[in-house]
Structure 1
Amino acid sequence: CSSDLTSEAATLCIPHLVAALKSGNEAAQESVLDTLCLLKDSWSTMPIDIAKSQSIVAAEAIPILQMLMKTCPPSFHERADSLLHCLPGCLTVTINRGNNLKQTMGATNAFCQLTIGNGPPRQTKVKRILNLMSP
């Protein structure tokens, strides 16, 4: 019972952590990121329904984390990236070979079609293309 109360308290704190991540100074953001990463590390040891509910609430931080990754130091990037990879709703696709992508698609308006499992294909815009040259 006490672990359920602790988990519920942690779940209720997550929106406040997300708000602090959005509005805090760099030191506060680092502290919030540390806390969210510790919470993420505990998800594997708690009941699946609690872990899922916490990750869904923490997913509110996705756009903030993505924005902060553009401006924060490299130490922040690794932890934020690790957190982003386990939050629901965040999908990262790495294109290892982009042969002729620029010539075919023009500027940076490239699209790709992504199929996950047996689901229907989804079209998604490629937001950033780093290496357009073939290896």
Structure 2
Amino acid sequence: MMASRHNSTPVPVSQKIRSIALYARVSTLNGQNPELQLAELREYATRRGWTVAGEYIDLCVSGAKESWPEFNRLMADAHRRRFDAIACWKLDRLGRSLKHLVLTLEDLQAYGVAFLALRDNLDLSTPSGPPHVPCCGRYGRV
């Protein structure tokens, strides 16, 4: 496990996800719509049998800004363990920078909250990541 920025021992991420928070962010409403991200996230949660505990949506919030109101609320609720996992559409929706992303993931691990980035096929709810999907043949046979 990674060392935590917190003084407490990290809480193990639960193996069984029952409730999930969805996070979406768009930096402009000019051609961007958070509903596109949320529709895929909702469908994914439904297929997995998870209850959506809340949706956190930052509108017109650039990645360069220091504070994202809904992201801050999401992390406060994660700290309170109001859900078992957080899902976002892509990693670049969650972090302002690589450092910010790593620190956010470290905080989630310390809270015992799993993280998934749907389009990046990143699932930190298990030690081995997402279930293995056989290769399509692009890189050779499996």
TM-score, normalised to structure 2's length? Answer: 0.32
> Which structure has the greater CA radius of gyration?
1
| Structure with more strand by fraction | 2
Greater relative contact order (Cα < 8 A, sep 6+)? 2
